[in-house]
Amino acid sequence: MKSDVVSRVTVRPQKIVHDRTHVRLCVFLLLVAVLIGVAAFAEHFCPYPPDAQNLSMSLKSPSREHPLGTDRYGRDMLSRVIAGAKTSVLSTLVLVAIISVGGTIIGVFCGYVGGAVDSLLMRISDVCLAFPGLVFALAIAAVFRGGVENAVIALAVISWPKYSRVARSQTLVVKNMEFVAAARMAGSGTGTIIFTHILPNIAGPLLVTAMLDIGTMMMELAGLSFLGLGAQPPTAEWGSMMSTGRSMLQTYPWVVLSPGAAIFVTVVLFNLLGDAVRDAMDPRRRRSR
């Protein structure tokens, strides 16, 4: 009788924690979905054309007509921030998709096949990891002479090793498990084993890594644009907008603070979503349900 009471008291807090994790995940998924929707259809949410100049409205402080004020060319800052979401958010998602998929393919191949190719690719990843990431990306972006696409390529070149390392280590563990050996003895080919048995079992850590990496990649993309090696004016991009207005921080702070606040909110939102995904996929929580 006493053990039944103890078990009920133990299980209930675990269920409460699971329910809270599920609610957090749903809330942050909804908020991120809204953000991505606004970024994808930014032109429909802008109250003014984001590139329309009106010098008579130059550097107007926030008002009812322009809630975030205007920049030096009289462009509405709210419209520019919304339009910048399309460049900043979608470019970041494309970047994370490229490095996560590419790094996973390389890591799974190296972990499952091994050999000289494994050694060569892992040494290349060691070289990429030996340099500070942003410094290496700056050098590559400078060679490509700027642009959003070139900034994405520069960051992709130096960011894939983290995923290849995770995928390789997980593959080395899974490929020696009994169910993989049984599939191999049953005549399953390499492709079938990888896509049916290995990838589903290593997807969790890779997904969590990708979700937590979105905020970092967004900051690095904005950093390249801030330094003039990413998006080029007049393209609306948050890092570029902060760069063009940095000299007016003390006199017209809304020109810099508006895109800065957009970066801050977006990065925090994606980081919170990554934390929620990590908690939801925690095997200890799944076992306690």
Look at residue 65 and tell me if it is in a domain. Answer: no
Look at residue 28 and tell me if it is in a domain. Answer: yes
pLDDT at 5: 46
pLDDT above 90: residue 18: no
pLDDT above 90: residue 189: no
Look at residue 57 and tell me if it is in a domain. Answer: no
How many domains is the chain partitioned into structurally?
1
pLDDT above 60: residue 288: no
Look at residue 55 and tell me if it is in a domain. Answer: no
Query: What sign results for the dihedral spanned by CA atoms 229, 231, 233, 237?
Result: negative
pLDDT above 70: residue 14: no
pLDDT tens digits along 190-216: 888 888 889 988 988 899 889 889 999
pLDDT tens digits along 110-134: 998 888 888 999 988 888 888 777 7
pLDDT at 20: 81
Look at residue 70 and tell me if it is in a domain. Answer: no
pLDDT above 70: residue 256: yes
What are the respective helix, strand and coil percentages of the chain, to the nearest 5?
A: 80, 0, 20
Look at residue 67 and tell me if it is in a domain. Answer: no
Look at residue 59 and tell me if it is in a domain. Answer: no
- pTM of the full structure: 0.86
pLDDT at 186: 85
Quote the domain boundaries for residue 18.
2-49+75-287
Count other Cβ atoms within 10 Å, centred on residue 200.
Answer: 10
Q: What is the CATH number of the domain that holds 18?
A: 1.10.3720.10
Q: Using an 8 Å Cβ cutoff, are 82 and 265 in contact? A: no
| Mean pLDDT of the chain, nearest integer | 86
Please name which of 223, 220, 237, 254 lies closest in space to residue 42, comparing C-alpha atoms.
Answer: 237
pLDDT at 50: 92
Percent of residues, the chain, with pLDDT higher than 70 = 91
The residue whose two tokens read 């063009």 is 244
What's the pLDDT band for 187 if we cut at 50, 70, 90? confident
C-beta pairs of 14-19 under 8 Å, 24+ apart in sequence = 14/288, 14/289, 15/289, 17/285, 17/288, 18/285, 18/288, 18/289
Q: Find the length of the chain.
A: 289
pLDDT at 9: 46
What span, in angstroms and rounded, lies between the C-alpha atoms of 165 and 136?
19
Look at residue 61 and tell me if it is in a domain. Answer: no
pLDDT above 80: residue 146: no
